[in-house]
Structure 1
Amino acid sequence: MKSESMQKHKKEAPKSIKGAVITLSDSKYRDFLKSVNNDISGTLIKDALEEKNEVVFYSIIPDDAGLLISMINHVIETYDVDVIITTGGTGIGPRDITIEALKEIFDKEINGFGEIFRYESYKELGTGAILSRATAGVYNEKLIVSLPGSPNAVKLGLSIILTELGHLVKHLRE
């Protein structure tokens, strides 16, 4: 049962937002430089956002923390964007740097997203869900959502976050 205040907030939330998508992957970046775009997860995010929203920026970059932060700052400074969704670089391998980079810049972390993501992953995958480090947070009054690179994980993350995007953006604009 939803609270009355949450229902009111959702009614007052923007019906459409502007989003950016950044894929982090060394291999997809190398392919992208050869004019081959095999970014299934980034495409899933773009397509899902474009159903009710606008995608104003999309890029594939290598797993590089400095480049990710520079790209996020570029997007915020150059585009009228409400949310930036990243995919990839969330694992525990040595090149997985997304979470550490984002936690350095977050003004606030939205812990509930990661918690719900891991809970839903656990229901599907069992204890292997402990590997997930999906997160969300606020930086410079913009929402940033970080999803794993797996297409199935992206679908799960989108199923959690898409219905709340307008609501979250409304709170950021207050």
Structure 2
Amino acid sequence: MKSRTMEEHKKHSPLKVKVGIITLSDSKFNSSKIMNPNFVSNPEDLSGKIIKDSLEDQHEIVAYQVIPDNAHQLLETLEKIQNQGAEIIISTGGTGIGKRDITIETITPLFDKELTGFGEIFRAETYKELGTGAIMTRATAGVWNETLLVALPGSPNAVQLGMRIIKPEMGHLVKHMKQ
């Protein structure tokens, strides 16, 4: 059941926000195509494409980058995309428990505020679909310098789930970050 107060509150939120997309993947980075400096993509990057396709009809995509699983490069890319005006940066990949998975360790120290509810809902919904394998997901979100960072796993199904959770709240989140 939706709260009438929440729905009323969301009516005063921006309808269109500026979004950056980052895919972290060593293999996809090695076969990436540079369309222009702000849009480095790979046709095999299904997860990044899901994010882009789900948002481009309603929001402005300011950057889309495929980068390797490298903490230094992730920090540089986050700063670059934020400087391009992104209000929300959504990443996919690097959230697992493998040695090359560095996304969570890299971004959580940046958070001014963590949105623990995002990760909790993500894991609860994942549990419904996958069972106890959900314990391996470390999806998270938080606010960094008035920019929302959302870290999703690399699997296309996980990205679709994450977008179903975050997309309806994007304008609402941006509104509150800027207050």
Pairwise same-fold verdict (TM > 0.5): yes
127, 132, 136: which is aligned to 1:131? 136
Q: Deviations over 1:125-166 (max 9, x none)?
A: 000000000000000100110000000000000000000101
Give TM-score scaled by structure 2 length.
0.93
The residue identity in structure 2 corresponding to 1:48 is: S
Partner of 1:95 in structure 2?
Answer: 100
Deviation beyond 4 Å, 4+ runs, structure 1: 33-36
Corresponding residue for 1:20?
20
Give distance in 2, aligned partners of 1:106 and 1:67: 18
* Aligned residue type for 1:59: Q
2:10 alignment partner in structure 1: 10
Displacement of 1:3 after TM fit? Answer: 3.1
* Distance in structure 1 (CA, Å) of the matches to 2:90 and 2:42: 21
Q: Is the 8 A contact 2:42 2:66 kept in 1?
A: no
Q: Percent identity?
A: 57
Q: Distance in 1 between matches of 2:58 and 2:42?
A: 27
Q: How many angstroms apart in 2 are the aligned matches of 1:115 and 1:122?
A: 11
For residue 6 of structure 1, report the CA deviation from its aligned partner.
Answer: 1.6
State which of 82, 86, 97 in structure 2 corresponds to 1:81.
86
Select 2:49's aligned residue among 34, 43, 54: 43
Name the residue aligned to 2:74: 68
User: Structure 2 matches for 1:152-167, cutoff 5 A?
Assistant: 152-167=157-172
Unaligned runs of 5+ in 1: none
Distance 1:89 1:104 in 2: 16
SS of residue in 1 equivalent to 2:138: coil
Query: TM-score, structure 1 length as denominator?
Result: 0.95
**C-alpha separation in 2, matches of 1:54 and 1:124:** 31
**Number of residue equivalences:** 173
Give the distance between the partners of 2:42 and 2:8, measured in 1 at CA.
45
| 2:64 alignment partner AA | Y
Greater CA drift, 132-141 or 26-35: 26-35
Aligned residue identity for 2:17 = I
Partner of 2:31: 31
* CA RMSD, 1 decimal: 1.4
Counterpart CA distance in 2 for 1:93 and 1:56 is 30
Q: Which residue does the alignment assign to 1:168?
A: 173
Alpha-carbon deviation of 1:26?
Answer: 0.3
Distance 1:84 1:111 in 2: 17
d(CA) in 2 for partners of 1:16 and 1:143? Answer: 14
Q: Using the alignment, how far apart are the partners of 2:177 and 2:161 within structure 1?
A: 24
The question of whether the paired residues in 2 share the 8 Å contact of 1:31 and 1:37 is answered with no
